[in-house]
Chain A
Amino acid sequence: MREVAIVGIGMTKFGELWDMSFREMGIQAGLMAMQDAKISAEEIDALYVGNMSAGRYIEQEHVAALMADYSGLARDHIPAIRIEAAGASGGLALRQAYLAIASGMHDAVVVGGAEKMTDVGDAISNKIQSSASDQQWESVFGATSPSLHAMIARRHMHEYGTTREQLAEVAVKNHRHGALNPFAQFQKEIDIKTVLRAGMVAEPLGMFDCAPNSDGAAALVLCSMERAKKYTDSPVRILASAQASDTLALHSRADICTFEATRYAAQRAYRQAGISPKDVQVAEVHDNFTISEILAIEDLGFFEKGQGGRATADGQTSIGGKVAVNTSGGLKARGDPIGATGIAQLVEIVQQLRGEAGKRQVSGASCALAHNVGGTGSTAVVHILGVK
């Protein structure tokens, strides 16, 4: 297996981008990444696109070829591949691109992620997002993505004494970080009272416990480590890439307070990178709900099971804490355009490892982790990255 590096990053602002279409967002992110890498179109061997549900959000399928077309790559007839794994689509697209280069099949590829969610109303978006759960045995009975996560939250509170306030602290912290990120959907701090007072989505989770519906796209240029030196003096190395699955329905698990897919993917990734959780300085984790971040920081091994809420309230996951989690603002504040999310996590991590994260910079960051989840913990993708 060859070593793989990230040499270019690009992303649109995340938010309600009503003046941009799906394809415009994708092209903007992709071209930014190629410009960042100073790589020419002729050098690109393949295009990977993470996307969950363009067919239902904008009634457009076949989006990989569409992106290749509008980025001007159709003339070169490179392969363009779409990858779908619900919320983990972006992370999984990165993994497929990584595998292609590691295997020697390709030398340089673009991997992007995009989702256009605000062209439909909330009720329709809710239905589309519910389709990542078991349609016939969960969604059909009225279980929504927020309500499934709410049941995890309630059980976590029951078993470990996690409090409503500790959940809220996740949102407060991620908004504090997001306020420092010019690409974030919400660049505004909130206090704990705002989170606790917000209208209920699915009890005990309120509006500020949920990531927003967003539009956005993000992209990366990947190449072999050998080739990377041609483009940059500071390539970011992919030290590990791992993926794991679990049952689609949440009710098929023995314990809903642990995402086994995250635990397995993390174990494999730590082994491949030859590091342990305590070596990670920066982590972008999948906080589509506040409870999700608490599960993530426990299942990734940063904190003991049941201690995630307390660790968050104690500031251990803030910039300057034991491990800086979601310095970008996370899905909660940066925004969660589903297929783009896993790639946007990497954009943040590359900025952190290059020392280009501005006010969000974690000083001396040299080892970072990205964690992307699809469905209710049914797919988990973990990447570990480093410099030097």
Chain B
Amino acid sequence: MQVPVMADMAAQEKKPEYLFWVGCAGSYDARYQRVSRAFVKILNHVGVDYAVLGPEETCNGDPAKRAGNEFLFQMQAIQNIETMNMYEVKKIITACPHCFNTLKNEYPALGGNYEVIHHSTFLQELIDAGKVNLKGGGSFKGKKITFHDSCYLGRANGIYEAPRKVLEALDADLAEMKRCRTKGLCCGAGGAQMFKEAENGKKEINVERAEEALETGAKIIAAGCPFCMTMMTDGVKHFEKEEEVQVLDLAEMVAEDLE
């Protein structure tokens, strides 16, 4: 797979328009690696001028900050800002709402000012601009799909419509959950919960959410966040529905239908 890397581009004195920030999940999580590859497939297909940091990328610091380790967060942030400023990065696209939120909202206070775009917005813009044409009808046509709002995309940054527009473009039958948009229910993994066991309670949050998603009767649960992806997949498994119900990222769905 052809993925341009910033260091190589710099060696050729090229400054790509976009940095694709892959994120830790997109780099290491076997499931989300597939999303990174799907997104790259789209970028390559459309001919977007981009590159990734590759080995030079490191955790943006979101889980550290939210767990309370502001020190570690700022160490990470300053390191990343130095790298990105060295390559004179102006625009960043990322498929992770946690990276998106941190780079967009929390890096400016530490000297990192970039235009940061979540891949759902980017995909919507490509579709609107007619740059992504989907195969006649598409494999998702008329399929019942429900979209799980990621807190860090939705409530944290007010992005509710872009992912839904992408699903509309796929001609899918969008079914909303009872708790959606501003009222969306967390998958349970934000605030660094992804990296520890949940506190004692009577239920797991992702089970509650998966139950709600399954109630819509959707065959596909669409997500736009690696944490949500993991949590919803586990939730679906909890109900032993993994044979019937898929959890897919928006980029995977678009990539599958590329003309």
A and B: bona fide binding partners: no
Interface residues of B (CB under 8 A from A): none
Q: What residues make up the interface of A, taking CB atoms closer than 8 Å to B?
A: none
